[in-house]
Amino acid sequence: MSDDQNVTENKIRASKRTGLVIAIACGAFAAGMVGAAFASVPLYQLFCQVTGYGGTTQRARVAPKTISDKEVTVRFDGNVAEGLPWTFRPNQREVRVHLGEQATVSYHVENKSDKTLTGQAIFNVTPDAAGLYFNKIACFCFSSQTLKPGEKTDMQIIFYVDPKMTESEELKELPSITLSYTFFPVDNPAPVVAAPTAPRKQKKGTDS
């Protein structure tokens, strides 16, 4: 085999190896992009919950044992998005609470339509920085809510404001916090599984 032939074959092998490397790299990049797309929403939600970004509130199991003598005013707002014929409003427009104190408030909601409808409440607080210190122990916003035609009910929120709020340069003067909710329609709520019906007992003296 001549030197020219050897050179040509070596170039062909090198070209094939380069193509294979490029194909593998492209495949890995595509897979990474797909994975990032699926992970972006939960990662963004986690980021918001950890940092309080955009007024995202925190979740807690219990209030702290120590209650500060400092107080903050918490105001409440309720809205309903287009396409959901509900009325929704806070039962208390504002409350004054000590930092670290567990508080309970409620919202009133009513389905004004003749259909069973499901909604999901989206929330935030202002100032945005206060989201890092606003902790919910229980809230109707943790899950979707279904109301029958004409049904009305009161839904509770149990929360506290972290005493560490005073350590924030932006919030050390303890400005009022506004907690806002907006209910959006849920098109395809999870189906409700009916409880099994107990078998009927046969009456004595009758045929089966």
Share the mean pLDDT of the chain.
Answer: 77
pLDDT score recorded for residue 15 = 55
pLDDT score recorded for residue 40 = 36
- Pick 186 or 24 by higher pLDDT: 186
Band of pLDDT at residue 22, cut at 50, 70 and 90: low
- Indicate the length of the chain as a whole number: 208
Instruction: Point out which residues pair with 76 in neighbouring strands.
Output: 179
Domain boundaries, the chain: 1-51, 58-185
Tens digit of pLDDT for each residue in 85-133?
999 999 999 999 999 999 999 999 999 999 999 999 999 999 999 999 9
Tens digit of pLDDT for each residue in 47-89?
344 333 444 779 998 999 999 999 999 999 999 999 999 999 9
Per-residue burial over 98-128, b = 16 or more CB atoms within 10 Å of its CB, e = otherwise: bbbbbbebebebebeeeeebbbbbebbbbee
Q: Which amino acid is at 4?
A: D
Could you tell me which of 167, 162, 98 has the C-alpha nearest to residue 132?
A: 162
Band of pLDDT at residue 9, cut at 50, 70 and 90: low
Segment 193-205 shows an average pLDDT of 42
- Pick 60 or 26 by higher pLDDT: 60
In angstroms, the CA 44 to CA 7 distance is 53
pTM of the entire predicted model: 0.65
pLDDT score recorded for residue 189 = 54
Segment 29-55 shows an average pLDDT of 40
E strands, 91-198, are 94-98, 103-111, 117-126, 134-139, 145-147, 152-161, 177-185
Percent of the chain whose pLDDT exceeds 90: 61
Three-class SS state of 147: strand
CATH number of 58-185: 2.60.370.10
Band of pLDDT at residue 39, cut at 50, 70 and 90: very low
